[in-house]
Structure 1
């Protein structure tokens, strides 16, 4: 993997605002399936829509710190085995929309911490179901908090293809940008950390674009299942985490942190 420069996220940036008067249109009509009727994990829709061009599925790219992400699909995770295999950080799904909470969250979130990993929680966004601030509150209230203990990553919002219908959830780029901004600002207000943004380059460039430069404030966790990382979403010039494969040595998805172990701790510390 080409080495990109690493930046810590200790500097606080002023919250970026959209042009005065910009309003988010009413959400588009959603699929009749109720929230919580399905559990979507990080990358489930990206792999479905974008596939993988990897030829050596068991061979990790060159990187500093390997990690993983899990959801209820992995059930009770054997965290000691994952640690022994080399995983040093994990993201655990906490919530989806405002109607789903991971029933395995405690075993996964606490178990990864207990074995020594640096871990964080993530939220699968459904922007056509409710507002960004509302979903951020649901996330923070159900596992998406942060503490300056050096073992907790900032919460993450999973922004990817709509599992129920229209790719961009029926929202324009301006409306989607505002939704992401509302989620991010509410998480900052409640946790004092900007959330990591999980996405793919193709989805982000199509559905969000570059009207607000989230790369100045929010760490990037990018999904791209290929031998090399490739282009990053508009607004970022380096990634913090690369999800390079949807399955592999560790349970769940396979990730690489763009830095060394000490830098990973500094990201956790804020």
Structure 2
């Protein structure tokens, strides 16, 4: 009787310790992605909530800047879980002809609205693409590229699917440059890009802005001849481009009433980018 009681107590104690250990592990994982106070001001309440241009959005929610379109351009938008189910017919009627949808973040999050957003834009006739919000402090570039590809970030030469985009910008969960040196950041980005290209044959688009790229990569020029630039600048012009890129491919120029993007070329060039 004493032996059975002892055995039962030991099992109960073991289960309790395992439960505590699991709770501690989950707390540590969640703790590493606690949004900063600044991020919380922009609707980032938990891991996975990050979105393109979240810092720029602080100054442009009240009114969109007056932006003159070039002679040849195509209007588009980018969306994430913050937009929920998107009225794609309405966006088409508003003149939008391409859209990027957030697919993943780090190696821990997938957008629950991805299918509605990614397929919905395609179904109304738009050219669509997927983007990955990078968190370089969590895992390698190769790991996150693989995660992205496994959760909607792939590419096919159908004339309607754009190459995946790497969203590399301010960290909403901590240190601006994710605790990496400039050299380490460049190496991380290269690891992501190389992995994606090896799997798809396409060079991903890089979404960033001049300030972050200068701070965190030393304004690296390593990718300006291979990867299309998607520059973020909420103003009347794209301004000085980061990394020595000779021109931008996409410009995110506003967040009102939804993130607004402009392709630098006509529809035929957008289709050419999709086809590779």
User: Structure 1-normalised TM-score?
Assistant: 0.83
> Quick one: distance in 1 between partners of 2:193 and 2:98?
22
User: Does the aligned pair in 1 maintain the 2:221–2:243 contact within 8 Å?
Assistant: no
1:174-220 Cα shifts (integer Å, max 9, x gaps): 00000000000000011110110000111001101244420110000
Out of 257, 261, 270, the position equivalent to 2:263 is 257
> Quick one: distance in 2 between partners of 1:221 and 1:198?
4
Residue number in structure 2 paired with 1:5: none
Residue number in structure 1 paired with 2:31: 32
Are residues 1:192 and 2:201 paired?
yes
Question: How far is 1:58 from its partner?
Answer: 6.5
Equivalence map 1:40-189=2 (5 Å): 40-48=50-58, 51-52=59-60, 57=64, 59-63=66-70, 64-189=73-198
> Quick one: distance in 1 between partners of 2:239 and 2:62?
16
1:1-21 Cα shifts (integer Å, max 9, x gaps): xxxxxxxxxxxxxxxxxxxxx
> Quick one: distance in 1 between partners of 2:116 and 2:31?
31
User: Does the aligned pair in 2 maintain the 1:31–1:164 contact within 8 Å?
Assistant: no
Question: How far is 1:55 from its partner?
Answer: 9.2
Are residues 1:239 and 2:238 paired?
no
User: Does the aligned pair in 2 maintain the 1:176–1:207 contact within 8 Å?
Assistant: yes
> Quick one: distance in 2 between partners of 1:241 and 1:209?
22
> Quick one: distance in 2 between partners of 1:241 and 1:118?
14
> Quick one: distance in 1 between partners of 2:113 and 2:62?
32
User: Does the aligned pair in 1 maintain the 2:78–2:260 contact within 8 Å?
Assistant: yes
User: Does the aligned pair in 1 maintain the 2:65–2:235 contact within 8 Å?
Assistant: no
Higher relative contact order (CA 8 A, sep 6+): 1
> Quick one: distance in 1 between partners of 2:47 and 2:189?
24
User: Structure 2-normalised TM-score?
Assistant: 0.81
In structure 2, the residue corresponding to 1:44 is in which secondary structure?
A: coil
Please give the root-mean-square deviation of Cα atoms over the aligned residues, in Å.
Answer: 2.0
Question: How far is 1:242 from its partner?
Answer: 0.2
In structure 2, the residue corresponding to 1:82 is in which secondary structure?
A: helix
How many residues are matched?
236
